[in-house]
Amino acid sequence: MIKQFFKFLLESVLPRRCRKCGQILTEEGELCEHCLSELNFIYPPYCRKCGYPLTNENVNSKMLCASCLSKKRTPFRLIRSALYYDEASKNLILAFKFMDKTENAHLLAAMLKVAAEDIFAKGVDVIIPVPLHYSRLLKRKYNQSALLAKELGKYSGIKVDYTSLVRHKKTKPQVEFSGHERIKNVKDVFSVAHPGNLVGKRILLVDDVLTTGSTLKECALALKKAGVLSVDAVTVARVCG
Ligand SMILES: [Zn+2]
Ligand SMILES: [Zn+2]
């Protein structure tokens, strides 16, 4: 009875609100029913290697996408994403990235945890966020990927390493480029400080959105060069063209 009363008191003082639209929540959870129903989660079938969604037409017995079937070289063991990148997920992520809605990290990391289930099953030793260049970090005050990694570390109990992977060159934001230019823009911008710390380790890279994958790929190549055992990646959302 007393517990109920306190719960009521607490709720009346601090109503819990939907992380996306701000509406007061009457039930457990982080999002209201409407905002939750708007999000498009990536469910199976998807490529068992890179996580790209497979449609009924291109689903095959190997459960691989065309790119993975053709054995295109990739530095990744597995890649997974929680959501399709669309208007709904975009708003959730942009608010997190630019409007200081850092409390959303908790919710987004919960999605990462679910999406990365296969990756955690294979084993992860260290979680590493995609780093920002220090000049952009000063401007934006926080690295959204680092916040996601921190929360994911709490959920999974796995160590987060914020300093070993370094973005040593300043680049223009990837949104300003397309296709091949994106690959060029991030070429050789990442390096590993103190590679000894990561030798033989299984790394999970964390980022907010996977677009063409060129940033994550450059990170993975730098890590591989430093002698890690494997690299996986998980993102909140993924552009599926
Ligand atoms: Zn809502
Ligand atoms: Zn694939």
Proximal ligand: closest to the CA of 45 = 2
Pick the CATH number of 39-238 from 3.40.50.2020, 3.30.70.1230, 3.20.20.70, 1.25.40.390: 3.40.50.2020
* Ion ligand 1, residues whose Cβ is below 5 A away: 18, 20-21, 23, 32, 35
Burial class (CB in 10 A: 0-12, 13-18, 19+), 143: buried
Q: Give residue 228's pLDDT band: very low, low, confident or very high (50, 70, 90).
A: very high
Please report the pLDDT score of residue 123 as a whole number. Answer: 98
* Ion ligand 2, residues whose Cβ is below 5 A away: 47, 49-50, 52, 65, 68
Proximal ligand: closest to the CA of 72 = 2
Q: Is the pLDDT of residue 137 over 80?
A: no
Please report the pLDDT score of residue 164 as a whole number. Answer: 96
Domain map (residue ranges) of the chain: 1-36, 39-238
Report pLDDT digits (tens) over 74-115. Answer: 999 999 999 999 999 998 888 766 666 667 788 899 999 999
Percent of the chain predicted with pLDDT > 70: 91
Sheet holding 79-84: strands in order across?
Answer: 79-84, 230-238, 202-210, 126-129, 159-160
Proximal ligand: closest to the CA of 67 = 2
Q: Give residue 154's pLDDT band: very low, low, confident or very high (50, 70, 90).
A: very high
Average pLDDT over residues 13-39: 82
Average pLDDT over residues 123-147: 86
Please report the pLDDT score of residue 101 as a whole number. Answer: 64
Please report the pLDDT score of residue 204 as a whole number. Answer: 98
CA distance 28 to 20: 15
Phi first, then psi: give them for residue 24, nearest 5 degrees. -70, 135
Proximal ligand: closest to the CA of 88 = 1
**Cα 68 to ligand 2 centroid, rounded to whole Å:** 4
Please report the pLDDT score of residue 2 as a whole number. Answer: 63
Enter the pTM of the model: 0.87
Proximal ligand: closest to the CA of 60 = 2
CB atoms within 10 A of CB 118: 14
Average pLDDT over residues 54-74: 85
**Cα 5 to ligand 2 centroid, rounded to whole Å:** 52
